[in-house]
Amino acid sequence: MANVIRQTLTANVIPESQYGVGYDVIKIDTLFETDTPIPQDMAWYIPAGPVIPQYIIDLIEKSGQEIPYLHPIPASYFEGVEDVQIQAASGNEEEVLKDVSRLLLESVLKKVVFTPINGNVYQYSYEIKAQADQNGNFKFKFSIPLKGLGYQGMNEVSADIILPKGANLDAAVTQGQDPNGNVIEEQVVSTNTNRKVVSFYYKTDPEFIVSYRY
């Protein structure tokens, strides 16, 4: 299995909600390097553009599965869904719910195979859409390095999130978390154009949550 040596992520938040659209767009660009080439028979799914319908999220939660739609999902996540009719015929409601929720999720994603840009260096981009909650807070979550690959010998991961002009970071919610549950503190700087840049840096497999409001 190929191992991720290093990975960087940049997320630029486009404030479309401030112009009459019901969501903000987060454009995510990622560059990563592996120790060996990624086999061409390995694939991932990334968002195809639309906001994930709430009923799909509800079904995934009801089935007891983790919601993985905010970062590239290994194709293996969708393995086994083809037996949904067999599970239905046998009355296995729990497995039917899992299969149906994953099939619905797959319908709003697109399948990709990563091609190196040079040596074992890869790049991918995608967009997600964040909607405000009832309190006006926008929140999105991402995880690096890429799921489905190994991490032995990994040097570092880093992420920079560029918030829109005038957006206020929710410091109580925004954080990184390592695999042991330890909090990774973010670094925040303000630009001359009244935009905040939130940065994380770590050397293992963390997850990050960013929350902001206008």
Confidence of residue 135 (pLDDT cuts 50, 70, 90): confident
Please provide the average confidence, as pLDDT, over all residues in the chain. Answer: 85
User: Is the pLDDT at 69 greater than 60, yes or no?
Assistant: no
User: Is the pLDDT at 33 greater than 90, yes or no?
Assistant: yes
Q: What is the mean pLDDT of residues 153-166?
A: 84
Distance between CA atoms of 196 and 10, rounded to whole angstroms? 13
How confident is the model at residue 167, as a pLDDT? 92
Distance between CA atoms of 116 and 33, rounded to whole angstroms? 9
Confidence of residue 10 (pLDDT cuts 50, 70, 90): very high
Query: DSSP E strands: which ranges in 35-174?
Result: 44-47, 73-74, 109-112, 121-130, 138-143, 156-162, 168-169
How confident is the model at residue 140, as a pLDDT? 84
Distance between CA atoms of 101 and 195, rounded to whole angstroms? 38
Distance between CA atoms of 171 and 186, rounded to whole angstroms? 9
Record the pTM. 0.81
* pLDDT tens per residue, range 162-187: 999 989 888 888 878 766 677 777 88
Is the Cβ–Cβ distance between 26 and 173 less than 8 Å?
no
Distance between CA atoms of 200 and 2, rounded to whole angstroms? 24
Q: What is the mean pLDDT of residues 26-40?
A: 93
Residue with tokens 């509800």: 58
How confident is the model at residue 11, as a pLDDT? 92
User: Is the pLDDT at 203 greater than 80, yes or no?
Assistant: no
Q: How many angstroms separate the Cα of 20 from the Cα of each of 17, 23, 24, 138, 174?
A: 6, 9, 10, 15, 26
What are the residue ranges spanned by the domains of the chain? 4-213
Q: What is the mean pLDDT of residues 43-54?
A: 80
How confident is the model at residue 34, as a pLDDT? 94
How confident is the model at residue 204, as a pLDDT? 57
